[in-house]
Amino acid sequence: MSTAAEQFEQHPHIESIRRYYDACTAGDAAGVAACCTPDVVHYFLVHGMDPVRGNEVLGRFWHEAVQLISAEWRVEHAIACEDEAVIEWSMQWTSRDDGERYIVHGAEWYAFRDGLISEIRAYYDHAWPRPRNEDTGLFDFPYAERGYTVVERPRSGH
């Protein structure tokens, strides 16, 4: 018998989000578009960043992000119901300034229509398009201890 958390992870909406993230990570604009309704809207928490509207525009947006910063997304935790899903995610990325890999942790709320993503509301701290060279996420949250993706760094001798 599976736990409630495992059942949530196997929900069709979560599988759709995983396909969407796989397409984002691959820089596959057509794959991203195929996961979304034609009128999808992706909202961002970052002030001054306009929503991305339309599935083809969203696909190109993530294609460009992958080209710029070698972004890789992962669903870390998820819950879903009839027409909505919420996930915690991580995105590893490479700084164009120092070449180092960093990680961003965030959360997104998804709405679905006819089995496709129709809206994404993203909550994370990342100063796109010029991200700071630092990892972001919840302050002092034990990501590694809870099994979340982290970027291992050597400790400095300061």
- Torsion, Cα of 109, 100, 153, 72 (10° steps): 30
Cα–Cα distance for residue pair 24/44, rounded to 1 Å:
16
Residue at 89: amino acid letter: W
Tens of pLDDT, residue by residue over 47-90, are 778 999 999 999 999 999 999 999 999 999 999 999 999 999 99
Q: Can you name the CATH fold of 4-146?
A: Nuclear Transport Factor 2; Chain: A, (3.10.450)
Q: Which residue has the higher pLDDT, 128 or 46?
A: 46
Tens of pLDDT, residue by residue over 94-117, are 998 899 999 989 999 999 999 999
Residue 14: how many CB atoms within 10 A of its CB?
21
- Over 70: is that where the pLDDT of 46 sits? yes
C-beta of residue 118 within 8 angstroms of C-beta of residue 51: no
pTM: predicted TM-score of the whole model, two decimal places: 0.82
User: In the prediction, which pLDDT does 124 show?
Assistant: 86
Rg (CA), the chain: 16
Which has the closest alpha carbon to 13: 35, 42, 39? 35
Q: What sign for the dihedral angle of Cα 103, 109, 114, 118? A: negative
**Which tokens in the block code for residue 114?**
């006819």
Q: What sign for the dihedral angle of Cα 71, 109, 13, 49? A: negative
